Amino acid sequence: MGSIHIDLSGMSHPIDVDGSKNVVKEVDFMPKPKTPMHLTFNEVCCYVPAHFEVPGMMSKLNKLKKAFGRGKDEVIKGADKKERQILHNITGVVNPGEVVAIMGPSGSGKTTFISLLAGRNKARHTGSILYNDQHKPTDKAFKRQLGYVTQEDALYEGLTVFETLYYTAVLRLPRAMTEAEKRERVYIILEVLGISKVKGSIIGGFRVGRRGISGGEKKRVAIGQELLYNPSVILLDEPTSGLDSTTALNLIGTLETLAQVGNRTIVTTIHQPSSRIYQMLDKLLLMGQGHLLFYGDASAATDYFAEIGYAMPYGMNPADYFLDVASGWSGDGSKKAKDRTSVVQNTDPELKALLRAIERGRGLESKGGTDTALVPLAIDKKGGGGLGEEYKKELGATFATQVRVIAIRSLKDRRFEKFSVDTVFTMMFVAVLCGMLWWQSGLSKNTGTTEGAMDVSGVLFFMLTYLSFSLLFSSIFTFPNEKTMLMKERASGMYCVSAFFFGRTLADLPLDTCLPLLVSTGIYVMVGLKASVGAYVLSMCIVLLVCFTAASLGLFLGAWFLNLKRAQSAATVLMLTIMLTGGFFVRTTPAWMSWAKYLSYIMYGWSAMVKLHLRGALAKCGGENPSTEGICDYGALGVVKSDAYGGTEVSILLCMLIALRALVYIALRYRAHE
Ligand SMILES: Nc1ncnc2c1ncn2[C@@H]1O[C@H](COP(=O)(O)OP(=O)(O)OP(=O)(O)O)[C@@H](O)[C@H]1O
């Protein structure tokens, strides 16, 4: 077998890998991880609910009904019975320096198994998974030693490739490393993965409405994020899916190199490797319907299956053959397509036959009749022990850095959303429309009349309601959109929830301030509201308070539901209640609903604005002149008490804002831990 050259596009140290033995001739591009890890998994079984539970109220009510009808214990026992076993006693060992490829047909349990190895699967499972005989994958201190690349690429679509890797580096690499060292590491990763030529391109995607880098490049960025930290263990779920065969070959070659040079432990699922990729693999773990069919040297698999009666037809790609075998098709290559279909449709008996053959093979092996191995493979104890004190002291970014980086990253990620031409145009259009419809209504000569005062109170109410609506509904998207990223980054221990909360709050400030200020200033000038600096500044403060409160409500709903549709429905209900009970549309709310107006932050903001701009009109309403009380005909203004300058309303708004922000934090914490 000739030598394969792995093209790492411009890499300063090209790698030559011998195709048959994967011998790395020259590599020094990545620092070695501190602690080599051997992984042992023993009798791992996994169970999932057998029936899909329809979400929603009806299903919950039905469950409650059953619970009351049959007794709680009975229901729980019943639930246990309704489980389906999707992994069956998976056992094996992976030593440092090895790349293990998990293969199997679709639905055979590859993702379930690798996510269990990564400690990211909450499904009920038994058996043990240990790194260096002591660390569970879910251990907090160990998380940072483990790189896990999921099947779906969870990336911030608005960031460039370089920004994505750089911010991950700042958040994930030890705080002892300098800024220059972190940048250097990013450049190395860009080179290693052959994506340096797209470092300035955005990731792109549906959310930002722009096409960015290709699917294969996204995959490599996701892998790069995990390699940055230089972990001892790298787990990858289908890293080659969507890649052409040459790029896939390069990627597997890079993984082989990383394993051999850095003594890393690498486990990857792989869907349908080409024969060239197959020849590069060290170890193969073959699964079929959750059963372990083979675990051992990839080069020994063909002989092993031949010995148990599943000889590979001549000239076939071993990977294709093993997938056929694992799918339940065991006929030879000459069988007609018709026969194959009939066998595949009835996989269980075939799989049972294969499992029986494997058992017989084990019997032979124990008698020394065969040298091919199913499992377990020997543990190479050079893996070492625990993480060591040195590692434990190696902390990631400080809290302040976490907050700063999350804020900057978030600002950059949302640059396409908030300042898009569409958003600015819509807001400006509304401002100009308001200005034209209520042109100079705020001049004192106009507010002296009933109609004039009503006009101004109307435009103030509309302005606050419009800004509230747009901020509430845009904030709803924040957390549901970032859910996957938050879960992924939290799972690898990159930052704490409070840093995320403060970072996002900081990032919202400029974005949620600029546009409302611009719109309300436009309306202020065109409507001709009080021409004094004090009144203008106070008005803007009130507008911002209302906007921040609305945004907090949106963030809370988003964080609580983490589901856009439900959060939007809840927001619509709340917003309409807040608007209608605000006192502008309905002056006398029914007694049983009168409490609702106290929750209406729009009412407090509007009331404070009216007091600021229509004090004269309010006085005529009787607030300052008891003798005329009750004869006010200023419509909605009658509900505004002209007792002060709106201090009470502003204080209440402030309290609401703080309370809602606290609720956002609690919801986020609760969801993150969930
Ligand atoms: N949370 C779950 N609830 C119900 N069924 C599940 C759950 N997780 C996995 N399964 C089932 O377990 C089996 C294995 O799924 P898994 O995703 O691990 O397969 P896979 O080999 O990775 O498939 P693919 O190659 O198509 O990604 C499938 O039948 C799947 O439907």
Of 569 and 327, the one with more pLDDT: 569
Rounded Cα–Cα distance for residues 191 and 360 (Å): 49
Q: Of 230, 250, 275, which marks where a domain is finished?
A: 230
* Residue carrying structure tokens 């606050």: 464
Rounded Cα gap, residues 122 and 106, in angstroms: 21
265 has a pLDDT exceeding 70: yes
C-beta separation of 669 from 497 below 8 A: yes
CA 88 to ligand 1 center in whole angstroms: 13
Q: What integer pLDDT is reported at residue 494 of this predicted model?
A: 84
- Ligand 1: residue of 45, 108, 112, 236 to mutate (most ligand atoms within 8 A of CB) is 112
Q: How far apart are CA 317 and CA 320, in angstroms?
A: 5
Atom 9 of ligand 1, nearest CA residue? 112
pLDDT exceeding 70 applies to what percent of the chain? Answer: 76
Does residue 55 sit within a domain? no
Q: What is the mean pLDDT of residues 83-87?
A: 88
Q: The tokens of 82 are what?
A: 């309704």
User: How far is Cα 218 from Cα 155, in angstroms, rounded to an integer?
Assistant: 8
Query: Is the residue at 93 inside a domain?
Result: yes
Q: Say yes or no: 664 and 593 in one domain.
A: yes
What is the number of other CB atoms lying within 10 angstroms of the CB of residue 281?
Answer: 25
Q: Are residues 543 and 652 in the same domain?
A: yes
Provide the pLDDT for residue 153. Answer: 77
* Residue 506 in domain: yes
Per the structure, the complete domain to which residue 198 belongs is given by: 153-230
Q: How far is the CA of 605 from the centre of ligand 1 (A)?
A: 52
Compute the distance from residue 191 Cα to the ligand 1 centre, in Å. 34
Kindly give the number of the ligand 1 atom that is closest to the alpha carbon of 269: 22
Report the nearest atom of ligand 1 relative to the CA of 113. 18
Q: What pLDDT is attached to residue 29?
A: 54
Q: Tell whether 429 and 302 lie within a shared domain.
A: no
Is the confidence at residue 367, as pLDDT, over 80? no
pLDDT the model gives residue 370: 38
pLDDT over 90 (residue 164): yes
Q: Residue 145 pLDDT > 50, yes or no?
A: yes
Distance 112 CA to ligand 1 centre (A): 6
Q: Are residues 576 and 648 in the same domain?
A: yes
**Last residue of one domain, picked from the residues 329, 361, 390:** 329
Is residue 394 scored above 80 in pLDDT? no
For residue 287, the ligand 1 atom closest to its alpha carbon is 21
In this structure, the chain runs to a length of 674
Helix (H, G, I), strand (E, B) or coil at 654: helix
- Co-location of 128 and 210 in the same domain: no
Contact 559, 476 (CB under 8 A): no
Lookup: tokens for 366? 């124990």
- Give, rounded to a whole angstrom, the gap between the first and last alpha carbons of the chain: 51
| CB 123 less than 6 A from any atom of ligand 1 | yes
Same domain for 221 and 237, yes or no, is: no
Share of the chain above pLDDT 90, in %: 24
Which of 181, 212, 230 terminates a domain? The answer is 230
Which residue is closest in CA terms to ligand 1's atom 1? 48
pLDDT of 375 above 60: no
Cα 386 to the center of its chain, rounded Å: 30
pLDDT at 81: 56
Kindly report the protein residue whose alpha carbon is nearest to atom 16 of ligand 1.
Answer: 109
pLDDT above 80 for 650: yes
Cβ–ligand 1 distance for 111 under 6 Å, the answer yes
Q: Is the CB of 107 under 6 A from ligand 1?
A: yes
Same domain for 179 and 130: no
Residue 28 lies in a domain: no
Question: Are 196 and 266 in a shared domain?
Answer: no
Q: Which of 106, 128, 116, 122 is nearest to 289 (CA)?
A: 106
Query: Ligand 1 mean position to 327 CA, how many Å?
Result: 15
Residue 421 and residue 538 in one domain: yes
The answer to whether residue 76 sits within a structural domain is no
pLDDT at 64 over 50: yes
Q: What is the mean pLDDT of the chain?
A: 78
Q: What is the pLDDT of residues 190-246, one digit of tens each?
A: 988 888 899 999 998 887 778 889 888 898 899 899 888 878 899 999 888 877 888
How many separate domains does the chain show?
Answer: 3
The preferred substitution site among 83, 110, 117, 271 for testing ligand 1, maximizing ligand atoms within 8 Å of CB, is 110
77-106: buried (b, 16+ CB within 10 Å) or exposed (e) per residue? eeeeeeeebbbbebbbbbbbbbbbbbbbbe
Does residue 75 form part of some domain? no
Residue 367 lies in a domain: no
Res. 418: pLDDT tops 80: no
**Alpha carbon nearest to ligand 1 atom 18, residue:** 109
Q: Is the pTM of this model over 0.80?
A: no
CA distances, 2 to each of 20, 21, 78 (Å): 8, 10, 59
On the question of pLDDT at 479 being above 80, the answer is: yes
Would the CB of 86 count as within 6 Å of ligand 1?
Answer: yes
* Pair (536, 452) in one structural domain: yes
Residue 328 DSSP label: T
Bigger pLDDT: 524 or 314? 524
DSSP state of 592: G
- The answer to whether position 354 is within a domain reads no
Interface TM-score (ipTM) > 0.90: yes
**522/455 same-domain check:** yes
* Whether pLDDT at 9 is above 60: no
Distance, C-alpha 644 to centroid of its chain: 48
> What's the CATH code of the domain at 121?
3.40.50.300
Shared-domain flag, residues 139 and 171? no
How many Cα atoms within 13 Å fall on the side-chain side of residue 331? 13
Residue of the nearest CA to atom 14 in ligand 1?
109
